[in-house]
Chain A
Amino acid sequence: MAVNGDSRARWRYMDHILTRPGAYTDPEWGEGIIGTLENAKVLVIGAGGLGCEILKNLALSGFKSIDVIDMDTIDVSNLNRQFLFRQSDVGKPKASVAADFVMKRVPGCKINAHVCKIQDKDEEFYMQFSMVICGLDSIEARRWINALLVGMVDYDNDDSLKPLIDGGTEGFKGQSRVVIPRMTSCIECQLDMHAPRAAVPLCTLATIPRQPQHCIEWAHIIKWEEERKDIQLDTDDPEHITWLYRTALKRAQEFGIQGVTYSMTQGVVKNIIPAIASTNAIIAASCCNEAFKIATSSAPALANTIPEGVDPETYDPDEEFAPAPNNYMLYTGDNSIYTFTFGHKKKPDCPVCGNLPKDLTVPGDQTLQELIESFAERPEAQLKKPSLSTGGKTLFFSSPESLRQQTEGNLRKKMRDLMEDGEEVVVTDPAFPTEFKYTIHLT
C-alpha cells in the first residue's frame, strides 16, 4: 500500500505534543513548530552503537534533514547492538549503510552520509547545521568538535550558535549532556569528569609483573617492538593477537601469574569498552529527546532551564555563585536505576570557552620534558603532543620534525631557568583547533 510520506496522519501521535500547549510551553508557542522541526538540519557524529539509535530516533521524531559522519567500517562485534547492520554488511562503511537503512524505513527523511573524519570537514560545512549530536567513543573527537563549535560563535549571527548534544556509554553506565556554546559549560569545562585511566609504570611491565594485564602490556609495548618491529601491529589481525597472547601467556607462566586469556589480550590491546544495546538506547534517546525539545520548544530542554528556587528575573548563570542550569545527566544501571541530573558550571578559566588562563603549579626544578609528559595525564589537560610558547618565545614544538629538533634542547632545562613565576604559557596540540592558556606558578 502506498503511503504519502508528507501526510500528517503518520505523525498523529507526535502532533498531539506539537499542537497542544503543555504545562511548560510559552503562551505564544505553537505557530510554525512543525515547519521549524522539518527544516532543522541536524548533524550526527558517529554511526556506531549510539549513532544507529540516534538516526532512528531523529527520523521518528520528525526531523527530515540529517547528515551523519563516520569513518569506520562495520565489524562483526558491532552486531550485538548496532541494529542497522547485518552480517552481510561487515566491512562496509557504517555511515552509508546506516543512512540507507533509515531512509528506506522512514520515507521522507533525507540522510547524507559522510565516510570521513570530522577533522576533514571545514567550518563552512559545520555552519549549515542547526545542531550537532555526538555519539562517539573518542574523547579527542568530542573535544575537537566542541572547540570548533565554541570558536564558531559570532555574537552578531544567531545562526552561528549550534547546540552540541553529547552522549557516551560504558557497560551499564552512560551520560548525556547539552552544551550551548559560550552560554553553558562546554565539553572542555567538563573534561576532569572523564579522567584517563592511570597507565602501569614501564618498570613494572619490564621487571616485576604481577597481573595478567601486565604480561599482556609487556608483550604489546615491549616485546612486539623487540621482535616484530618491521610489522605494523594490527589489533584486528587474529595472528597478531595470537602472537601477543602467546607471548604474554609464556611470560605469565614464568612468573606464576594466572588469568591471561585471548579475550583479555584483545581487551587490553584494543582498549575494549563493554557495550550493550540497552545502555545505548537509553543514552541515544536521551540525546534525541533533548534535540526534539530544542527544535520544537514543546518542553524545556537541558541547559535551557532556570534552576529551581531561582528568580528568573535576576538569574545570571555567569555570576560566580549562581547555580548552573541542569545540563548533564549521569546514568547508572548496574545497581537498580539511578540518574543524577545536575548543572555543570561553566569555568571562567576553560581553555576553550573561558577567557582566563588556567592556573598550573609546577615544581621549579621540574624539566620541560617532565612538564610536557604530565600534560597527557593531567585530567584537566589530556594533551598528548603539546607545543609550548611563552610571551612570544617558543619553548618547544612537538611538530614538524625540523622545529622539534630546533627546540628539543629545552627539554632537559629546568622550568625555573625557562620562565618567571606567574608567566603565561600558551599550549597548542595538533589534535585541537584551539589554544590552551596557563599561568605557571613555580614552587
Chain B
Amino acid sequence: MASSQNEVPPPLQDIPTAKEKKYDRQLRLWGAGGQLALEETHILLINNGPGVTGVETLKNLVLPGIGQFSILDSAVVSEADLGVNFFLDDDSLGKFRAEETVKLLQELNPDVKGTAITEPLETWAVKDKIFTPYTLVLIAAPLDPAILATIDKHVQALEIPAFYLHSVGYYSQFSLYLPPAFPIVDTHPDPTSTDDLRLLKPWPALLEFAKQKTASMDKMNGEQFAHIPWIALILHYLQEWQAAHDGKLPTEYKEKTQFRDLVRKGSPSEENFDEACAAVLKTLVPPKPSSKVTEILNAPEAKNLTATSPPFWVIANAIQQFYEKHGELPLPGAVPDLKAQSDTFIQLQNIYKTKAREDCAEVVATVRSLEKNLGRSGKLVIDEKEVENFCKGAAHIHLVRGRPLKIVTPDTVTTFGDRTKYLANELTNPESLSLLYIAFVAWDEYVATHTTSTKEAGSEGLKVPGAGDDYEADAEKLTGISHKIIDSVIKEAGTFVEDPEYSQIKEKVGKICVELARAGGAELHNIASLTGGLVAQEIIKVITKQYVPIDNTCVFDGIASKSYVLRI
C-alpha cells in the first residue's frame, strides 16, 4: 500500500467484503436485496435435444451467484455435443450429459451448488411433489407434449415460474409462465421519467419556500438571482399567471408555451431560467396515475383483501384509499439536481422528503388498520420499509398477468382462444415476428405428431423436422401446418386478409419453415448463447422482482437480427 513519509494513511474504512467486490458490477443494478433473492433460488433445467440454450442460460446465472441449480437430462454425451456445448470436454464423451455439464458449470462459481438428475424425464416427472424444491423451472424443447402438460400442471399448482425454450438453427423462441398475478414495485423506470414535483398542486411548505426564494427578485444581486432554484421560479410565475387568468393554471399546450414565454421574460440567459423553461412542458402535468397503475390499484386482488393477501395487494388498497382522499398518489420525494446554492438545495430536498414521509405515514396507518380489520396474524405484519418503497415507486408499479404455456396436441390445429384476434392483427403488422412464433408452434405440432409412444421410447422417440435426410419434404410439411394455423387464426378472429398480403404471409412463413427444417433440430452455438442471455436476464428479473419481465413470449430471428415479444 502506498503511503508518504509525512502523513499517516487513514485506516481503511467501509471497504467492501470479498463478496461485494466479486459482485460489484451487478450489485449496482439489483442491489443487496436482489442478490439475496438470487442466492435463495433453486433452478431446475429439464434438458432435451442438443440442450445448449439451457446450459448457456445457467452459465449466466451461476456467474452472478444463484443458490442452486439442477439439470435433469438422461442423455449421454455424443461427439456432436462437443461441437456445440462449451460445458463439456473430450473426457465427457460417453458419460451422462447432466453430470458433465453440472461439473463444468459449477467450476464457474464455488458459491453455487449444482445437482445432476439422470433419470428419464417420463418416469421422473410423474412423481408426487417432485417440483416442490424448485423456485423456477426451465424446459428445453423438444419433448413429448403429454409430459410437458404434466410439468405444466405441477408448476401451475405451485405457481412456480417456468420457461419453455426452443433454439433451432438461426431462430429461437421462449415462453414464460408466471402466476396469474405477478406484481413488481422496483421497476427501475428511466430516471428522466420519474420526476414528480407537484408544481400544479404545491403544498404550503413548498409555496412558502418559493415565496421566500423569489421575494424581491428585482433587488437581488446577480449571484443570488442566478441561483434561484427553477422550481421556485416556476411556482412564482404560476402565481403571476393565475393572477392574470382568473386563478386558472396553464393546462393546454398553447397556454404552457405562453407560460414558458412569461418565465423567459424574467431572464434571457441565466441557466436557472433555462432549466425552468426546459421543465415547463414536462412538469406542468396533473399528478394523475397512468391507466395501468389505476388498473392495478383497482384489481380484484386489491379490492377483495383476505387475512392472507400478499403485502403488495394490502398496500395497493391503502394507496388507492390515499388516492381517493387526496386525488394524488403519495409523493415520491426525490428532487432532480438543479442550479442552486448548496443550503437552498438541501432545504428544498427536505421539503419534498418531509411531505413524502407524511404521505407514507398516512399509508402505513391505513395498512395497519387494514391488517387489524382483516385479522392478519402477527407473522404477516407488513414491513414499513416495504410500504415506503411502494409509496416511492407507486407511479411506476407493474403487474404481469401470467398465462399458461401453449401446449400442442398431436394432429390438431393449435388455436389461441382469447388471443386469436390479437394474433390475427399481428399477422399483418410488418414489424411483428408473429410468423416466426407460428412456425415454432407448427414445429411443436410436427414433433407431437411424429412422436412414438413415450412409455417405451422416451425423448429418444421424438422426431424433429429435418432430422432425416429429406429435410425439404419436412419443410413442406411444416409449411403446411403453419398455413393451417394461420388460416384458422384468421377464420376464428372473424377477419379476412386479402391478396397480395395473404400470399405474402404464406410465402414468408414458408421461408421460415425451410430454415427450421434445414437445421434438423440443430442448435447453432451463437443463437443458443444469445437466447441463453435473454432467458437468464428474464430469470433475474423474475427472481429479484425488479425491472419488467416479458409478457409472455419472445422470438429471436438470427438472420434479420431482431427480437419480438408477443402476448399469447
Contacts and interface: CB of A to CB of B under 8 A. Distances in A.
B234 interface: no
A3 B90 contact: yes
A105 B28 CA distance: 32
B534 A333 contact: yes
Given A60-B525, A105-B86, A234-B2, A81 B530 contact: no
Contact of B80 (A13, A80, A172, A256): A13
A210 B345 contact: yes
A282 B1 contact: no
A42 B559 CA distance: 21
Nearest to A49: B25
A11 B108 CA distance: 25
A242 interface: yes
Which of B15, B27, B527: most chain A Cβ within 10 A? B15
Nearest to A56: B86
Contact of B519 (A3, A17, A211, A246): A17
A199 interface: no
Contact of A107 (B3, B90, B527, B562): B90
Interface in B89-104: 89-91, 93-94
B79 A290 contact: no
Contacts of A16: 169, 466, 471, 518-520, 522
B147 interface: no
A230 interface: yes
A13 B84 contact: yes
Contacts of B64: 80-81, 276-277
Contact of B533 (A280, A326, A335): A280
A272 interface: yes
A2 B90 contact: yes
Given A210-B342, A255-B346, A239 B9 contact: yes
Interface size grouping (class) on chain A: 35 or more
Nearest to B430: A308
A193 interface: no
A282 B529 CA distance: 7
B433 to A, nearest CB: 10
A363 interface: no
A239 B1 contact: yes
Given A1-B94, A23-B511, A210-B342, A282 B530 contact: yes
A48 B390 CA distance: 38
Interface in B443-475: 466, 471
Interface string A276-313: 11111111111011101100000110100000000000
A302 B29 contact: no
Contacts of A70: none
A299 B340 contact: no
Contact of A329 (B4, B90, B561): B561
Interface in B1-52: 1-4, 9-16, 18, 20-29, 50
A81 B533 contact: no
A3 B563 contact: no
A87 B338 CA distance: 44
A277 B536 contact: yes
B63 A83 contact: yes
B532 interface: yes
A337 B538 contact: yes
Contacts of B4: 228, 230-231
A339 B563 contact: yes
Interface in B267-289: none
B529 A53 contact: yes
Contacts of B11: 242
A354 interface: no
A20 B170 CA distance: 13
B547 A3 contact: no
B109 to A, nearest CB: 8
B59 interface: yes
B236 to A, nearest CB: 21
A378 B65 CA distance: 41
B170 A276 contact: no
Interface stretch (A145-153, A261-269, A388-396): A261-269
Given A80-B65, A209-B342, A335-B547, A17 B518 contact: yes
Contacts, number: 285
Contacts of B14: 242, 245, 261-262
A336 B559 CA distance: 22
Interface stretch (B153-161, B302-310, B548-556): B548-556
B537 A76 contact: no
B383 interface: no
Contact of A282 (B16, B59, B170, B537): B537
Contacts of A302: 561
Contacts of B26: 80-81, 274-276
A83 B512 contact: no
Contacts of A243: 9-10
Contact of B79 (A10, A24, A171): A10
A1 B90 contact: yes
A299 B342 contact: no
A383 B104 CA distance: 45
Contacts of A221: none
A315 interface: no
B561 A292 contact: no
B56 interface: yes
Contacts of B563: 331, 337-339
Interface string A71-86: 0000011011101001
Interface string B409-439: 0000000000000000000000000000000
A261 B559 CA distance: 46
A7 interface: yes
Given A80-B26, A326-B560, A329-B561, A7 B79 contact: yes
Given A231-B4, A262-B13, A337-B563, A275 B25 contact: yes
Contacts of A53: 529
Contacts of A256: 342-343, 346
Contacts of A76: 18, 21-22
B515 A242 contact: no
B188 A336 contact: no
Interface string A239-250: 110110110000
A60 B227 CA distance: 60
Contacts of B471: 16, 20
B530 to A, nearest CB: 4
A24 B15 contact: no
A276 B518 contact: no
Nearest to A211: B337
B524 interface: yes
Interface string A1-32: 11100010111111011001111100000000
A341 interface: yes
Nearest to B559: A299
A3 B204 CA distance: 79
A237 interface: yes
Contacts of A285: 526-527, 529-530, 533
Given A255-B346, A262-B14, A278-B536, A337 B554 contact: yes
22 contacts: A3-B90, A9-B79, A10-B83, A13-B80, A16-B466, A17-B519, A20-B518, A20-B520, A60-B525, A80-B22, A208-B227, A239-B1, A242-B14, A246-B10, A256-B343, A267-B28, A276-B60, A279-B537, A281-B56, A285-B533, A336-B548, A336-B551
Given A17-B524, A23-B515, A274-B25, 10 more contacts: A10-B80, A12-B522, A24-B515, A61-B525, A210-B342, A274-B26, A286-B530, A299-B559, A336-B549, A337-B565
Q: Please give me the 9 A-B residue pairs with the lowest Cβ-Cβ distance, nearest first.
A: A281-B533, A13-B522, A285-B530, A282-B533, A23-B511, A10-B83, A60-B525, A12-B80, A289-B526
